[in-house]
Amino acid sequence: MSLQPCCLSDLRRFGLGLLLLLFLLPLFLLTGPVCKPANAAEVVIGFRLVPPYVMEAEDGGLHGLEYELVREVLALTGHGMQARILPFSRLIEDFRRGRLPAFVPANPVMNLSGAFSDVMLVYNNVGLSLQARRVMADRADSLRGLRIVAFQNARRLLPGFLDIQERNPDYLEVADQTLQVRALFAGRADLIVGERRILQVLIRSVQDSAGGVAIREHALFPPTYYRAVFADASLRDDFNQALERFKRSGEYERLLARYDMPVQIATP
């Protein structure tokens, strides 16, 4: 019994198709899908410019601990990121009014109606003084009589700080934290209050120009846990899963280490 010509032709086509499939299958398994998820998009995230968390390079590009962390975590979800730079007070107001879909850093004490992520970064707010001035400050309630310059909204964000400073006529809050450091080194402030990494960067620039000045650090406040806040809860959920993966990979700790910039701290 012999095969008909049409059957031979079908077998040849089947054989060629099978060979092609066997050739392409390993390549597909190695590379995996190259397309982003169908719902992938560029997520608009609000930031404020403050070193070392978000900084602007000479070419206009952005970098910094907070910026890079959010960008890398969003990339793991398949989303891109479009940064919108605003003053901190505008971030809160624009999100509250629905003009901004997400921003960092956010904290539940801001009383926002949104979906907060898991803890993204831990801020350590401290007091800094010049060692030569021998300032004594070991608790938040031991600051009476000191000339203090703090960051904007410190009274609202730091536990136990509001009542004390409302009764202090020499207490000042500033949006530009460079003014804090200038006031400290010019002798116009006994103590400045702010986040350790931010003040490290600002103090270092002054130390370098002044030939090194000993600073005393005062551990006055508990850590503050900051998150991202999203209008879209499903995007928040995706972000949380990716943040956990980023931490497990070890990249989170490596990113933190790159932005650790200790200054010359005196022993109390």
Residue 215 has a pLDDT of: 87
Q: Which residues pair with 131 in a beta bridge?
A: none
Residue 145 has a pLDDT of: 81
Low-confidence ranges of the chain (pLDDT < 50): 1-8, 11, 14, 16, 18-38, 267-268
| Residue 2 in tokens | 């012999």
> pTM value?
0.75
Closest CA to 114 of 227, 268, 262: 227
Burial class, 241, CB count within 10 angstroms (exposed 0-12 / middle 13-18 / buried 19+)? middle
Query: What does the DSSP assignment read for the chain?
Result: ----HHHHHHHHHHHHHHHHHHHHHHHHHHH---SPPTT--EEEEEE--BTTTBEE-TTS-EESHHHHHHHHHHHHHT-EEEEEE--HHHHHHHHHTTS-SEEEEE-GGG--SSEE-S--EEE-EEEEEEGGGT----SGGG-TT--EEEETTHHHHSTT-HHHHHT-TTEEEES-THHHHHHHHTTS-SEEEEEHHHHHHHHHHHHHHHT---EEEE--S--EEEEEEES-HHHHHHHHHHHHHHHHTTHHHHHHHHT-----EEP-
Domains of the chain: 42-122+225-263 (3.40.190.10), 125-218 (3.40.190.10)
Q: Are 246 and 252 in contact (CB under 8 A)?
A: yes
Q: Are 191 and 146 in contact (CB under 8 A)?
A: yes
Residue 206 has a pLDDT of: 73
**How far is it, in rounded angstroms, from Cα 138 to Cα 14?**
82
Residue 39 has a pLDDT of: 54
Positive or negative CA dihedral for 122, 125, 126, 130? positive
